[in-house]
């Protein structure tokens, strides 16, 4: 009887321990605690380097290209982001789901002096579209702000008709392998293409990491 009780107790302890670990992993899939970093390099409207995490891709927002391809409002968005980061007294990051993308970039929400930078970019009309690889903590709020920016015709939307742009571009049926810029390439390959792919062009590999037009 005592042996049976010991076995049952051991099973219960193991189960509780497993539940605790699993819950901890699950908690990481939600927006985590903010942590303070410093800017080391600003790349463009949605990418920067920070201490502790290295190259970081801002969660959910996609601003126009501003380096090799000069898309409308690309430089404006980049200048705004870099200005906000450089003058910020305090920069904080926040994880929300997977911490890395397939290009090994850190995925984060970015806070500048207590304000969510992604939210500011959307309000200014500098976010072209959203990339949705999961459910994010501030997703619904950003979608509402995007619709408001479109309605008010600010930034990118100043010369465009208001339309819903919170969905990922769908891949059309085409055999085209040569593209003028990343905007055109992403209509066919939404996440970019690796070196060796028929559509890869080194001119579109802005960070020279062997992947062109990645998000």
CA-wise closest residue to 121 among 75, 81, 168, 166: 81
Q: What is the CATH number of domain 35-159?
A: 2.40.50.90
Share of the chain above pLDDT 70, in %: 71
Residue 214: how many CB atoms within 10 A of its CB? Answer: 22
pLDDT at position 75 is 92
What are the residue numbers of the active site?
57, 65, 105
pLDDT at position 185 is 74
pLDDT tens digit sequence for 153-190: 999 999 754 444 444 433 333 445 788 888 887 777 76
Q: Where are the domains of the chain?
A: 35-159, 169-215
How far apart CA 140 and CA 117 sit, in angstroms, is 16
Tell me the pTM.
Answer: 0.63
CA torsion 59-62-65-67 (nearest 10°) is -10
pLDDT at position 130 is 92
Residue 29 has pLDDT above 50, yes or no: no
Higher pLDDT, 135 or 170: 135
Residue range 91-96: average pLDDT? 97
Beta strands per DSSP E along 16-53? 35-37, 39-44, 47-50
For residue 196, name the pLDDT band (cuts at 50, 70, 90): low
> Distances from the Cα of 171 to the Cαs of 14, 128, 135, 176, in angstroms?
47, 17, 22, 12
pLDDT at position 199 is 77
Residue range 118-126: average pLDDT? 97
């Amino acid at each position: 009887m005592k042996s049976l009780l010991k076995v049952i107790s051991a099973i219960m302890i193991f189960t509780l321990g497993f539940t605790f670990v699993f819950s901890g992993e699950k908690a990481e899939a939600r927006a985590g605690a903010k942590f303070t970093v410093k800017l080391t390099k600003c790349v463009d409207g949605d990418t920067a380097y920070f201490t502790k995490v290295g190259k970081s891709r801002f969660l959910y927002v996609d601003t126009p290209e501003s380096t090799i391809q000069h898309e409308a409002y690309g430089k404006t968005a980049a200048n705004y982001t870099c200005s906000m980061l450089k003058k910020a007294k305090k920069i904080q990051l926040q994880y929300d789901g997977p911490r890395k993308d397939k290009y090994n970039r850190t995925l984060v929400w970015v806070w500048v002096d207590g304000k969510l930078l992604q939210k500011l970019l959307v309000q200014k009309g500098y976010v072209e579209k959203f990339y949705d690889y999961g459910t994010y903590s501030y997703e619904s709020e950003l979608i509402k702000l995007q619709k408001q920016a479109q309605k008010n015709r600010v930034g990118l939307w100043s010369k465009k008709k208001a339309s819903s742009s919170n969905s990922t571009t769908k891949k059309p049926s085409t055999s085209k392998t040569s593209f003028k810029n990343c905007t055109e390439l992403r209509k066919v390959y939404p996440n970019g293409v690796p070196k060796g792919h028929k559509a890869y062009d080194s001119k579109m590999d802005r960070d020279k990491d062997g992947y062109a037009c990645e998000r």
